[in-house]
Amino acid sequence: MSGLKSFAAAVAVAGLAFGSVTSADAQTVLKMATDSGAKGSPAGDALERWADLIESGTNGEIEIEIFYQNELGGQQEVFDLFVANDVNLMLNWPMTSYDERIAVLYAPYMVFTWEEALEAYRPGGWINGMLDGIYRDIGLKFFGAWPEGFNGIATRGVYAMTPEAAAELKIRVPPIFPMAESVQAMGYQTATIDWGEVFTAIQTGVVDGDGANVIYWDYEYFRDTLDYYNRTRQQFITGILSMNLEAFEALTAEQQQVVQAAAVTVMEEHFEKARALDESYVQKAIEAGMEYKQPSEAQLRALAERVRAEVWPMMEERIGSEIMATIRENASQL
């Protein structure tokens, strides 16, 4: 974690952000939101921690209003509000609708271990480094990653360990490139469904399961509906802490410093505990009756080879050869 701490130290000598600013010396009210996570969830707790650090660090000059999952709409709606500066700060799982280069977050099988993932996503890491300029181009201030862990395929009734068996199952994916393409390359049929509609889609049999999330979300929201969680590890999932750039630039330099340093603190704390938190939800899911599956190392490498071969060329066409060259140069070896 030395990279995070040195980054935090650097931030302490630099510059903070908001949106609904009244004046430089009056109280500023900022809206902070997440697209996924209710009050009391890890994401909700992270928002509250970030808000508290900002309010205390500015001696009350900035007041934060927090909006949790679905309080302002679905994932795309809230991201639209964020880009428009109607929401000022976010912890979210960003959509690719404004710039497909954000899809670098969702490129399948870039890393295989927690150690590789945390090194890549920490401040100064090779994945983190690609995102700062992309965010600025769509009017957002990028602070960094809030890691959750490797995702998998959660299903009802049956599960699949091979592409051949997967062909019988239809799996929900979010409207984010290349989530659907990755799950399709694994052999599944897919249906694109917004997060707020997933429970109903599983319960009514529209889909056989969820194919985007770390186990926390499938346990917390669907444990009475889903029977299996297969940790296929196609993506390392991380939320992003960021701010609308117009709101950020409306702040004083001192306030900018507080907001950014607060974001780094929230990231640093979560980098320290994310793996243990993920593992604790594996145990909770098992205790609740879900069967936890993992491909063997040979199965995982074969799946990764198949998915990379199908999806990475699509990504090159849509997000550019320069980004894909960086991914190919730094991704874990098969």
**Better-predicted residue by pLDDT, 308 or 35:** 308
Q: Is 109 exposed, middle or buried (0-12, 13-18, 19+ CB in 10 A)?
A: buried
131 and 117 part of one domain:
yes
Range of the domain at 319: 153-235+286-329
Concatenate the DSSP letters of all residues of 105-159 into one string: GG-TTS--SHHHHHHHHSTTSHHHHHHHHHHHHTTEEEEEEEEEEE--EEESS--
Residue count of the chain, please give it: 334
Instruction: For the chain, list the strands marked E by DSSP.
Output: 28-34, 62-67, 89-92, 140-150, 153-155, 170-173, 189-192, 209-210, 228-230, 236-244, 291-293
Specify the range with the lowest mean pLDDT, choosing from 6-10, 58-62, 309-313: 6-10
Domain co-membership, 157 together with 269: no
Whether residues 159 and 123 fall in one domain: no
Question: What does the angle CA 147 – CA 148 – CA 149 come to, to the nearest 5 degrees?
Answer: 105
- Residues 270-304 as b/e (b if ≥16 CB within 10 A, e otherwise) read bbeebbeebeebbeebeeeebeebbbeeeebbebb
Does residue 93 register a pLDDT over 70?
A: yes
Res 46 pLDDT > 80: yes
E strand or H helix at 194, and its extent? Answer: none
- Regarding whether 273 and 159 lie in a shared domain, the answer is no
Residues 42 and 87 in one domain: yes
Phi-psi region of 40 (alpha: psi -120 to 50; beta: other; left: phi over 0): left
Confidence of residue 61 (pLDDT cuts 50, 70, 90): very high
What is the tens place of the pLDDT at every residue in 243-264? Answer: 999 999 999 999 999 999 999 9
Residues 108 and 163 in one domain: no
* Mean pLDDT, range 323-329, rounded to an integer: 96
Reduce the DSSP state of residue 17 to 3 states and report it: coil
Of 21-30, 189-198, 253-262, 279-288, least confident by mean pLDDT is: 21-30
CATH code of 166's domain? 3.40.190.170
pLDDT value, residue 95: 87
Which band of pLDDT confidence, cut at 50, 70 and 90, is reported for residue 23? Answer: very low
Q: Is the pLDDT of residue 124 over 90?
A: no
Q: How confident is the model at residue 9 (pLDDT cuts 50, 70, 90)?
A: very low
pLDDT single digits (tens) 211-250: 999 999 999 999 999 999 999 999 999 999 999 999 999 9
27 membership: H or E segment, kind and range: none
pLDDT band for position 26 (50/70/90)?
low
- The count of domains in the chain is 2
Question: Average of pLDDT values for 73-98?
Answer: 93
**301 pLDDT more than 50:** yes
Q: What is the pLDDT of residue 194?
A: 87
Residue 140, pLDDT > 60, answer: yes
Assess if residue 210 is contained within a domain. Answer: yes
pLDDT of 21 above 90: no
pLDDT of residue 196: 85
Q: Tell me, yes or no, whether 198 and 269 share the same domain.
A: no
pTM: predicted TM-score of the whole model, two decimal places:
0.84
The percentage of the chain sitting over the pLDDT mark of 90, rounded to a whole number, equals 84
If asked whether residues 70 and 219 sit together in one domain, one would say no
Same domain? 210 vs 243: no
Q: Are residues 268 and 294 in the same domain?
A: no
Mean of pLDDT over the chain = 91
- Quick check: helix, strand or coil at residue 220? helix
> 213 with 110, same domain?
no
Q: Does pLDDT of 183 surpass 50?
A: yes
Alpha carbons 313 and 19: distance in angstroms, whole number: 39
334 located within any domain: no
Q: Does residue 220 sit in the same domain as residue 73?
A: no
